[in-house]
Amino acid sequence: MTIAKVWIEDGCIACGICEEICPEVFVVDDVSNVKLNVDFNEYASGIKAAADACPVEVIKYE
């Protein structure tokens, strides 16, 4: 599966786990943000791990 899009839905509690797991893609301020100009496929395993680890399940990708 290739990843063309990554986004954060409403409800992020800014716990920081996604940035810890995959700082190449996620940066957490008030809420988590997806970095621009990133080749998501290079970090596919990190994106999936972060989505699985997110306690409120707001990390989405397709």
Tokens 């988590």 map to which residue? 32
Q: Which of 3, 4, 15, 41 binds ligand SF4 (CB under 6 A)?
A: 15
Q: Which two tokens stand for residue 57?
A: 């399940």
Sign of CA dihedral 27, 34, 58, 54: negative
Q: Does 34 bind ligand SF4 (CB under 6 A)?
A: no
Q: Nearest distance from residue 7's CB to ligand SF4, in Å?
A: 10
Q: Does 14 bind ligand SF4 (CB under 6 A)?
A: yes
Q: Which residues bind ligand SF4 (CB under 6 A)?
A: 8, 12-18, 28, 32, 54-56, 58-59
